[in-house]
Structures are given as structure tokens and as C-alpha cells.
Structure 1
Amino acid sequence: MSRAQAVGARFGAAADRYDHHAAVQRTVAARLADRILAAGLPAAPRILEFGAGTGLLTDALHSRLAGSGHAPDWTVTDVSPAMVARSRATRAGHAATRFLSMDAERPSVRGGYDLICGSLAMQWFSDRPATLRRLAGLLAPGGLLAVSTLCSGSFAAWHAALRAEGLQPAAPDLPGAAVLQAEWPGGGVGAWSCETVLQAHQSGIGFLRGLRAVGADLSRADVRPAEPLALRRALRRFEREHAATAEYRIGTGLFRRSVGSGVFVTGTGTGIGKTLVAACLARAWNAAYWKPLQTGIDTEAGDSETVGRLARLPPEQVLPPACVLRAPLSPEAAAALEGVAIDFDGIRLPPHGDRPVVVEGAGGLMVPIADGAMMIDLMARLALPVVLVASSMLGTINHTLLSLEALRARGIPVAGVVLNGPPSDGNRDAIRRYGRVRVLAELPMFDRVDAAAIDQAAGWMPSLRRLEEGEGAALDPPGTRL
């Protein structure tokens, strides 16, 4: 019997009692569903769910999508035929849903999915990195892979009780966030976050019985050798010292497949140096440049003209904006002054041939565009890795870390940070460590910003290949200083 078959048989045997004992699984599924909805889905998403079990994540997503205008085409799968049968029987009323017995490590479906998701299934994979690559390969451009899994530190109190009685835990080798982060496939960048979910039990034996009831029996594997008296003492210690409360360290990962080659340049605010960085990148990569929303042309030249001149781009590589507005305000406010409404759904990346593209946003992440749509919503749609431009000065740590958290909460890939201004080792290192991000470069305050200065700065930017493969400026030492 293969490992997948063994896992499927164990969970299949628990199918009838699973829901009654799956309190933590239900909580984790609900939180993953919230993250998916916050990340955004198209109006008619194709959804593939793996490791669905009896359908806790299916239900959580279905209830959140109901009445939202979404019309999903849903494929629900699990390695256990018994779990699939139960889910099909109890959720037959879900519209446009098909049920399939499938091993997620060897998916038997065709690609093009807008969302691939699975809650608390990854810890059973025999080869996580390879499986993630296969699943990511089934995403449509801009599609989202959203998963949750057990992380290292789970069941710490139970394991401490075992060790105190001379017993050696033999739990599965669970990864930490850094390991999971390194396992994302190429062609996009994902982000992981970890949290602790606690579950209290009436007794230690109730904890073990609950695991067995959901098919995740750790009692036999957890004790080596299985000494009954020592195990009883460990259970009593678990009750006495930890109130029979188990910790589940839950990792949640969001990965979005890029729609093409290039980056989206945004900033922690306005006037932060986005146009300078965009010009450097466009020059370094001989890329196309696109400023989808240009405001403020009454007071200064448009960024398209500026970047084209500074980066020495031929006219055909400067793509026309989707909207040009006169007032130096947010796109929504500037459009209102001119009595026009921006068609957010109509903002689409223009054709740019085989060359990469550098897209520059207006202002920061939460700048309004139209009808509640923000700049971050445009970033999510384009699914290009983001280069976040920040000041090197006092206050930048807070602004930069908040921006990084907002991007990761939406599953938007982050390529790295570029710092503008006088060098600050403290700010750079804090952003790098606490933001878990590469500092790609540190740009000085130029006495004169012209094409020659851009040529110089472009030479220090990471190549596009290195950026896409995660080999840009390394985490240690940090980014390039000019």
C-alpha cells in the first residue's frame, strides 16, 4: 500500500465521525477562506480544492461566496474515496460542483484554475516542494494557490509531557515558515504566516482520542517505545501542567502565479522615488514601461514621458496610460474633479511583446481608484512581483512593514524593497529581518537625475532572471549600496 493509500484509508475510516471532532480543522478552514476572499477572486473562478475531507473548507468558501455575485466552477477532491463520498452526499446542493477522488501529489486534472486550495492537507505530502510545483503549474496566469498546514511547534506541550516521562516524541517532521517559504516554486513569489490555535480537552486521553477520531492518530507513532505506565504518567502530566490543551501551529501560505515577466513598482507613499526606480529597472532590463493611471499633469510632466527620457526607451516601449488626469490627487479624486469615472475593470495590461514590463503605480498601496477599488487591487489583478520603494529615513520601518503585511495578506508576490536616501544600516536591517524581504538596492539622493545617473544606477539593479529566481540581492549581505 502506498503512503497516499495508507493516509486515505486512515482518514476514510474516520469519515463518519470526522466533523464532530474537527473543531480546530473547522477554525483553520474558516480563516483560510477569509484569506482567500481578501486576496480576491474573479467573478467566475475555476476552483480546485485538494484534501477536502468532508468539506469544511468547501462549506466555508461556499457560504462566503454565496450572494457575492461569484459563480464558481468547483472541483472538490480528496485522496480518500470515503471522504469524497461523504462530501458528495452532504453537499450535493452546491452549484457547479464536481467531486473526485484524487491524490494531490499526482493531480489528474487539467490546469487553468483561478484558485487551488487545501486546508491542513500538506503535512501528509511525501514530497512537498514537488507537489507545490505541480499544483502551481495548474494555476491560470494570476491564479492563487492558498494552503494551510501544520508547522513546527505543534503539540509542544504534549511532547514536553512525553519527554518529562522519558518518552521520545516521534511526530512527523513539520516545517517552519522559513522552510515553507523556500519551497515555493519559481515563476512567482508567495508568502507564509504562522499562528497558534489552541484546543482544550477534558483529559489527556480525550486529546489522543480526538486525534484518532479525525484520522490523525499520533499516539502510537508518538511514543517510542510504547510504555503503558510512562504513557499514563505523561497523560496526567499533560492534564496537570497544561490543562490538556494542545497547540496547533498553523502556517497559511498564499502564492500567486505571475501573469508575465516584469514587476509592479509601488511605494510606501507618494513622492518616494517610484519613478526613479522604475526608470532604473526599465533601463537595466530594456523593458517596456507602463503607468496605468497618471495624475497631476497640470503641475508636472507625466511619468511616461519622464521614464522614457531617463531610461532612453524607444517610443514603442512606453505603453500608453489607461487614464490621464490633471489634478495631483488620487485617481478617484482627480477623476471626480473632471466629471469622469474610471473603469477599473477595463484597466488591462497592454500588449508589450516578449520583453518584460515595468508597471508603476500611483501613490501607495491604498490609493483609491474607483468604486472601492484601490491600487492594491490592481496589483493583485496583474500578479506581477512587487518592488516596494521606501525611504531610508526615520519612520520608514513602520511604513514599510505595514505595506509588506498588506501585500502578503492579499497573496501579492513581493520581489523586494529598494531604499531611497542617505544610507541607514539600522533601517535597512530592520526592514530586511522583520519584513522577511530582500533589500534589492539602496539609492542615494542624486544631485542631478538625468539619463547618465539612471545608467549608473541601472547597472547595480539585479537582473530580471535573478530577481525572478530569488537570487537578487541576497539576504546576507543585504542589498547593493551605490
Structure 2
Amino acid sequence: MSRNYKEKIIKAFDQADQYEKFASIQKIVAKKLSDCIRKQFRTSVDRKEKISILEIGCGTGLLTQYLIDFFPDAHFVLTDISPEMLNRAKNKFKNHKYDLTFKLMDGEYPELDEKYDLICSSLTFQWFDNVASAIRTLTNYLKQNGYLICSTLTFETFKEWRSIYNDNDFTCNLQTYPSIESIQSVWPETGTGHWETDEIIVQIDTAIDFFKGLRSIGASVPLEISKPLKLSQFKKVLSDFSKNYNYCSYHIAYGVFRKFSAKGFFVTGTDTDIGKTLISACLTKLLNAVYWKPIQTGLNCDIGDTNTVCYLAELSETQYLSPIIKLQAPLSPEDAARLENRELSLDHVNVSDLKQENKYIVEGAGGIFVPINDHLFIIDLIEKINLPVIIVARTILGTLNHTLMTIEALRNRNIKISGVILNGPLNEDCKNSIISHGKVKILGQVPFLSNVNPDNLSTLCGCISIPEEMV
């Protein structure tokens, strides 16, 4: 995009002094995006601290209003490329006593001095030259565990108009938008992200009203490289549209990206006694990582997994973290806690203390649906720890069902799966079925050893391959 063309876009938004009167779609999307943000910060604990929020393309403050209602104590940096849009936002909030900083900035090429807990943007990314590059750049300004939450128009927006142009063999000079397929893979490896799509149908009284509406919100700038239609051609487009349509569709993608809390992996299993602790010891040794088992049960009959991993991987005192929850009975955390008249929560599991220079191997307790209390499960612990997951699975009969169900449940929560490690007798059929049906990588096949010790742990480590880009 040339500088002259970008100046045209800025000028169009500067002149949109009736923006809020005509921005009906923008208001709908801003509300839905704010609901999406509320969902991610759904507990009061998430909002107690004074978080920092960066908004890209704040416009007149449609999304901002929802945000300050929800995060009244947050520090806001509100940006826009249009000086007049930024002034409109300033005037809207001039009598509010919130921590608001206004900054004239091109969101695609940000110049910032701090990192943020939340970066958000409503219907701005479709104006970027390269959405993937912009997202990678913006996520660099996220704190660990920070969110990038955005909305953008996608390819099928205005498809009714485009069909009229195509039917007449006219070149359509309406803005083009990225396809949902092209943005599915834009999320960086530093976190996990997903998109959800929506369609909004808008009734149009007359064809010319559509173009007047675009001009009123500053969105009427045609494609940079396009040839304008002759007046007779434009009249034909208006006429054909009026005959065939009285509506226009907007296709919206809502994106949520969360940056990982640290480098490393959360190790879970398809069952209990599946070999998670052994694999965790291998991974800790391989990656020279710090080991952490947040919830430990069964201490009345076992030395505990932390001691086992420290022994096998020969860890120093700085290479492990003690469990947050320690329970005596070899039961689920919920049942073991009940025997001790304790009520468990995850409030004390704090990932903000994880050091960014370290790599971490975090081990769960049993499978992902082992209960912690009457409403929390290990999968909720995985979400809170916020690391990519490695699944440990058996190779015996029955493992396909357990493994594929674990994969599906994690994906339903948008939790990133780095791969599966098989533990037991080599079984190529099992391996190939998991790859085929689970669409995951097999990171290793670890054979059974009757006696594992620090000396032969290295042999098992050689059976596991962790790609460098994963860590």
C-alpha cells in the first residue's frame, strides 16, 4: 500500500463526521467483540489487577465504551491512524475519569514502549496490507498470558455486490478482504489462537444508500489499483442490484489469541499410571527444564512424582517447583481432598511467577477430566497453566478411543496440542491410527523398561524428538 493511498484512507475517515449515525454494523460487531473479551476475562480475579489495554483503530470509541465499563481500573492506550477519529474519541471521553492515553498510530506498524495484557481491535485489520505480519508484530507487545482479540471483515463480505459486477464483466473496485482460510494459520507459535465466524445481513432501502453509507463512515475508498466504472456502467450495477437484492451481507471473523505463560509443555495422559511421570522426567532432562507438578495426590503411599523426576533426571534444587496442592490418598484430587475435609480451588496456582528464561515441564494428575472439585477438572488446570500440551498414551488395546477423545476435548477448549508420546510396546498400527484420525504429531515411542534409573533414562530420552520450533 503506497503512502498516498493510505493518506486517502486517513482523509476519508477524517471526514466521516457522522460516523456513529451510520455505523450500525460497527456497533453490532463492537458489542459482540466486547462479549468475547468478557468471556476470556470471565472471573473477577482476572480483572482485579490494574491491567493494561491497547486498542488498535479505536475510531469514535464504540468498543472503548464497553471496555471501560468492564475494566474501569485498567490503563488504556487508544490508537487510531486518523487524527479526527482520535479527536472524536477524546471528546467522547473528555469528562470521564479513566486512565486513558490517546496515540496517533498506524496499527499495522506500531511504535510502542510497553507490553499489554490485552490488545484489541474491532474492524481494523481488513485495512492492513498483511494481516499475518501485523498479528505477529502485535503479539510481540503482549505480556505472557496476554490476549490479542480482534474482529475483521472477511472475503465474502458484499458478495451480492460482487456478483453483480461479475455478471456484467465489470471490475469490482470495492475493497477485498482476507478469506477465513488465509487467516486460520496466522497465529504465532508463541501462543494459541482461533477464529469464529459470523454473518450479518443488512436490509438496504435503495442501492445508492449502500454507497452513501460507506462514505458516511469513511469506508468508501476503492481499491488502490482499480479503474472506476463509467457512469453508465455504475447505473447498470445499481439497477441490477435493486432488481435482485434488497440486502447486503457482512462476513465477520472474531479472533482470539493467547500468549503462552512461558516456554515448555504441559504433560497430560489418557489415563492414570500411563507413564506421565516417566515422560516428564525425559522431557525435563532433554530440555534442561524446570519440573512442576502443581497437584500431587497419593503421598501416603509414594514419595511423590516431584521426588521421582528429581531422581531420574538428576535435577538440581533450582530445577523443580514444589506442588501447590499436596494430598495423602491415592485418589482424584476431589476425593482425596474430601477425606482431609479440604475444598480445593485453582486460585493459588499463579503462572505469573514463571521465569521467561526457563523452560517448564508441568505434569497433570491423571487424565484431563479428573475432578479437582465439583466444577473444576484437570483440563481447567491446563487452561490456567497455559502451555502447549503433550499427551502420553499407551500402545495397548483401547488406547485409540482414550487418545482421540482426549484430543477432541482439548481442541474443543482451543488448547494447543504439540503432539503425542506413546509409552509401551512398539505398535505401528496404533501410531498410524492416531496420526490419521487425531491429526497430531507422534513425538516419540518409548518402550517399556522394568527398571528405570538415571543411567538408562538417557536411552528413553533418545526415543523422543521435540522439534526446535516447539520450544
Q: Indicate the TM-score class for this superposition, using the shorter chain for normalisation.
A: 0.7 to 0.9
1:94: Cα distance to partner? 5.7
367 and 395 in structure 1: CA distance in 2 versus 1, 3 angstrom threshold:
closer
Instruction: State the AA in 2 paired with 1:394.
Output: N
RMSD over aligned Cα, in angstroms? Answer: 3.5
Q: Report if aligned partners of 1:263, 1:387 keep a CA contact under 8 Å in 2.
A: yes
- Cα gap change, 1:300 to 1:87, in 2 (>3 Å): same
* Greater radius of gyration (CA): 2
Return the alpha-carbon distance in structure 1 between the equivalents of residues 168 and 133 of structure 2: 38
In 1, the alpha carbon distance for the partners of 2:102 and 2:170 equals 42
1:59 and 2:65 correspond:
yes
Alignment counterpart, residue 359 of structure 2, candidates 345, 356, 365: 356
Letter of the 1:325 counterpart:
L
TM-score (norm 2): 0.81
Residue number among 134, 139, 145 corresponding to 1:131 in the alignment: 134
The alignment status of 1:402 with 2:402, answered yes or no, reads: no
Q: How does 1:165-314 map to 2 (within 5 A)?
A: 165-185=168-188, 188-202=190-204, 203-217=206-220, 224-248=227-251, 250-267=252-269, 274-298=276-300, 302-314=304-316
SS in structure 1 of the partner of residue 400 of structure 2: coil
Partner amino acid for 1:253?
G
Whether the aligned pair in 2 keeps the contact of 1:189 and 1:415 (CA below 8 Å) is no
What SS does the aligned partner of 2:60 have? coil
Whole-Å separation in 1 of the counterparts to 2:277 and 2:241: 58
What 5-or-longer segments of structure 2 have no aligned partner?
none
1:47 and 2:53 aligned: yes
Residue 400 of structure 2 is aligned to residue 393 of structure 1:
yes
Paired residue for 1:475?
none
Matching residue's letter, 1:55: G
Q: What secondary structure sits across from 1:265 in the alignment?
A: strand
Partner Cα separation in structure 1 for residue 368 and residue 382 of structure 2: 9
In 1, Cα distance between equivalents of 2:223 and 2:194: 31
* Cα separation, partners in 2 of 1:158 and 1:218, compared to 1, 3 Å: farther
- Residue of 436, 439, 444 corresponding to 1:429: 436
Aligned residues: 451
Contact 1:365-1:374 at 8 Å conserved across structures: yes
Q: Contact 1:114 / 1:143 at 8 angstroms: preserved in 2?
A: yes
Question: In 2, distance between residues paired with 1:365 and 1:65?
Answer: 32
Partner of 2:322: 320
Question: After the TM superposition, which of the residue ranges 205-214 and 231-240 deviates more from structure 2?
Answer: 231-240
1:253-303 alpha-carbon deviations (Å, 9 max, x no partner): 333333432122235665665434423322322322110111233465532
Letter in 1 for 2:248: T
Shift of 1:359: 0.9
Instruction: For residue 361 of structure 1, give the secondary structure of its aligned residue in structure 2.
Output: strand
- The alignment status of 1:98 with 2:101, answered yes or no, reads yes
Q: Which residue of 1 aligns with 2:21?
A: 20
SS of the residue 2:149 aligns to? strand
Q: Mean alpha-carbon deviation: is it higher for 364-373 or for 26-35?
A: 364-373
> How far apart are residue 404 of structure 1 and its match?
1.4
Are residues 39 and 5 of structure 1, via their aligned partners in 2, closer, same or farther at CA, if it must alter by over 3 Å?
Answer: same
Mapped to 1, the partners of 2:245 and 2:449 lie a distance apart of: 62
- Alpha-carbon distance in structure 2 between the residues aligned to 1:364 and 1:17: 56
Q: Deviations over 1:142-164 (max 9, x none)?
A: 22222222233333332122101
Code of the aligned partner of 1:176:
S
* Identical amino acids, percent of aligned pairs: 31
Aligned partner of residue 109 in structure 1, secondary structure: coil
The 8 Å contact of residues 192 and 251 in structure 1, kept in 2 or not, is answered as: no
Distance in 2 between residues matched to 1:449 and 1:226, nearest whole Å? 79
Q: Deviations over 1:53-109 (max 9, x none)?
A: 11122123333446xxxx211121211121122122223426222323222233343
**TM-aligned CA deviation for residue 111 of structure 1:** 1.0
Q: Which moved more, 1:420-429 or 1:30-39?
A: 420-429
Deviations 1:350-372 (A, max 9, x none): 77795421012234556665796
Residue 29 of structure 1 corresponds to which residue in structure 2?
A: 30
Q: Which amino acid aligns with 2:121?
A: G
| Compared CA separation, residues 56 and 461, structure 1 to 2 (3 A) | farther
TM-aligned CA deviation for residue 459 of structure 1:
2.6
Deviation at 1:331, TM superposition (A): 3.5
Q: Which amino acid aligns with 2:164?
A: A
TM-score by length of 1: 0.80
1:340 aligns with 2:342: yes
1:416 is the counterpart of 2:418: yes
Q: For the residues of structure 2 that align with 1:241 and 1:395, how far apart are their CA atoms?
A: 52
SS of the equivalent of 2:120 reads: strand
Contact 1:48 1:117 in 2 (8 A): yes
